A and B are shown apart, each in its own frame.
Chain A
Amino acid sequence: DTGVSQDPRHKITKRGQNVTFRCDPISEHNRLYWYRQTLGQGPEFLTYFQNEAQLEKSRLLSDRFSAERPKGSFSTLEIQRTEQGDSAMYLCASSSYKDSYEQYFGPGTRLTVT
């Protein structure tokens, strides 16, 4: 257990529905990342927060995706109007400013869009 938690662990939804995932990073970590991992592939970067500011977004993050980190603590990732291609594992990672190269990952949220 790295100390990064994610909720829910699994989510099954129908195409067109909205879903929201939550990530709670290690408490003293000010940097938070979201990645997406599809079966048989490595994680792909989606977005990055430093404290509450979203500083970078991948072009993978379409307009249907939005992420927030209010108050610089937990973060949420919302997918609107889900599509079957959104089925993946959504991973959250955090790191501290002092040791920003070491990212600690949560267990992920497995999304299945039917």
Chain B
Amino acid sequence: QQQVKQSPQSLIVQKGGIPIINCAYENTAFDYFPWYQQFPGKGPALLIAIRPDVSEKKEGRFTISFNKSAKQFSLHIMDSQPGDSATYFCAAMTRGTSYGKLTFGQGTILTVHP
């Protein structure tokens, strides 16, 4: 059962563009939603995370928008740079009962052209 669906699978933008990656979840018990960035040959690195009591969170050039009623959340990367080219994963967790087990989306391969 795919509990977190991520789209698109791949995304190409020009430098300075604003790529947007979307995720939808099914399990209403999820209450923590992080985004991870992964470069080839490396483990995922935590970028930014949000809890469902807020609709938006911004850290540097990265912004999460959260829509609890639609069970959707998205990552926006402002002023994207070639160094942002990586695979991005959304994830979800139920803090209270799952010992912090993360359920990941399928990933989005982002390419930022100079």
Question: Which A residues lie at the B interface, using CB under 8 A?
Answer: 2, 4, 31, 33, 35, 40-45, 48, 50, 55-56, 91, 93, 95, 100-108
Contact = CB atoms under 8 A, between A and B. Distances in A.
Nearest to A102: B46
B102 A103 contact: yes
Given A91-B44, A107-B41, A40 B107 contact: yes
Contact of B49 (A2, A33, A44, A102): A102
Nearest to B95: A101
B107 A2 contact: no
Given A56-B101, A101-B34, A105-B45, 8 more contacts: A41-B107, A42-B106, A56-B98, A56-B99, A101-B49, A103-B100, A105-B36, A107-B41
Interface pairs A-B: 10 shortest CB-CB? A42-B104, A105-B43, A45-B101, A48-B99, A42-B89, A105-B44, A107-B43, A108-B43, A101-B32, A100-B100
A85 B99 CA distance: 27
Nearest to B51: A101
Interface residues of B, number: 26
Nearest to B101: A45
Q: B91, B99, B105: which has the most chain A beta carbons within 10 Å?
A: B99
B22 interface: no
Interface string B1-37: 0001010000000000000000000000000101010
A31 B107 CA distance: 25
A41 B107 CA distance: 6
Q: A42, A95, A104: which has the most chain B beta carbons within 10 Å?
A: A42
Q: B6, B32, B102: which has the most chain A beta carbons within 10 Å?
A: B102
B21 to A, nearest CB: 13
B101 A43 contact: no
Nearest to B91: A42
